[in-house]
């Protein structure tokens, strides 16, 4: 844990960071506000640049460009293009996607699309895959090809709904989520949460929540962790409603900002922690 900073809106509060990607950004935001930070990644992001399924998806898109593309994450879309470029198919893939309707799950996905010189057809205002799916299902999908850029795990229900509407679905697996490279910090965090030794735990993705619960089970602390989160000794903070779903499923109350941004999540912490918690 960090030494206790002298001042700031979060001085005197200890906050755990479970993120893998952008962990340094979140840690910096918290430290600048005086928080004691516990860094404990609960999952890892594994690129699939050499994956044969991804390479096959690139070739399929180049050979028969999709009519629509679900862009679920900015990092995933960039990784898709970067992998294609490594195989000498980067420009061909961009040309193929230029004729597709690119449907983005939020501003980060849209930013990645625009950075590639492409334009989106739609950006989900709630940054939810549910909104992306609803937009797609509102179209006539019979006989249309839809590429689905997956975000760390297969999306069987999403793809099944598209197929039921008559679409031909092409999954594009760009990266996978896995356990943390070193599980020790996450298991120490589970013990600290169980003992009420941290004031809040932040989560920036569903896999981070699921990974934390998995490490708590491995450490034999799951029931204690859930109890501490349920009774308010430790505040669970998610980056958005979608991220909070595994917490909801475990009966754990949580708070999250309206907009899924790191800075917004930190502002939520600033508002919620002084309200009698800790």
For residue range 3-27, what is the model confidence (pLDDT) as tens digits? 555 578 999 999 999 988 778 889 9
Whether the pTM exceeds 0.85: the reply is no
- Which pLDDT score is estimated for 262? 87
Helix (H, G, I), strand (E, B) or coil at 24: helix
Instruction: Return the pLDDT at 50.
Output: 57
When pLDDT is cut at 50, 70 and 90, the band that residue 235 belongs to is very high
pLDDT band at 174 (very low <50, low <70, confident <90, very high): confident
Handedness of CA 105, 110, 111, 113 (dihedral sign): positive
Q: How far apart are CA 196 and CA 235, in angstroms?
A: 10
- For residue 1, what pLDDT is reported? 56
pLDDT tens digits for 42-78? Answer: 998 776 655 788 999 999 999 999 999 999 989 889 9
Query: Nearest Cα to 175, choosing from 19, 54, 25?
Result: 54
Tell me the CA distances in angstroms from 111 to 57, 103, 119, 245, one per residue in order.
22, 12, 9, 25
- Give the per-residue pLDDT at 258: 84
Q: How far is CA 37 from CA 59, 139, 169, 199, in A?
A: 44, 46, 43, 10
Exposed (0-12), middle (13-18) or buried (19+): which is 125, by Cβ within 10 Å?
exposed
Of the candidates 204, 192, 92, the one whose C-alpha atom is nearest the C-alpha of residue 151 is: 204
Query: Would you say residue 101 has pLDDT above 90?
Result: yes
Which domains are delineated in the chain?
A: 14-43+180-272 (3.40.50.10090), 46-178 (3.40.50.10090)
Q: Is 140 left (phi over 0), alpha (psi -120 to 50) or beta?
A: beta
């Amino acid at each position: 844990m960090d030494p206790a900073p002298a001042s700031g809106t979060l001085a005197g509060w200890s906050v755990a960071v479970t993120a893998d990607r952008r962990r340094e950004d979140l840690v910096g935001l918290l430290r600048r506000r005086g928080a004691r930070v516990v860094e404990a990644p609960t999952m890892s992001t594994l690129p699939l640049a050499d994956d044969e399924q991804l390479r096959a998806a690139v070739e399929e898109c180049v050979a028969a460009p999709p009519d629509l593309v679900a862009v679920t994450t900015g990092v995933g879309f960039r990784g898709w293009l970067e992998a294609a470029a490594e195989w000498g198919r980067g420009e061909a893939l961009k040309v193929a996607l230029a004729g597709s309707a690119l449907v983005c799950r939020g501003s980060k996905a849209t930013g990645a699309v625009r950075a590639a010189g492409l334009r989106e057809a739609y950006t989900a205002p709630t940054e939810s895959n549910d909104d992306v799916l609803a937009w797609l299902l509102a179209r006539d999908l019979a006989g249309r090809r839809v590429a689905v850029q997956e975000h760390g795990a297969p999306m069987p229900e999403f793809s099944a709904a598209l197929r039921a509407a008559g679409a031909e679905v092409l999954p594009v697996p760009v990266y996978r989520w896995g356990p943390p490279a070193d599980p020790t910090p996450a298991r120490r965090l589970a013990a600290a949460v169980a003992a009420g030794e941290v004031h809040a735990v932040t989560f920036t993705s569903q896999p981070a929540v699921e990974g934390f619960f998995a490490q708590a089970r491995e450490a034999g602390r799951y029931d204690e962790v859930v109890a501490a989160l349920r009774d308010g000794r430790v505040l669970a903070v998610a980056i958005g409603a979608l991220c909070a779903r595994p917490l909801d499923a475990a009966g754990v109350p949580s708070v999250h900002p309206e907009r899924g941004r790191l800075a917004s999540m930190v502002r939520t912490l600033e508002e919620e922690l002084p309200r009698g918690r800790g």
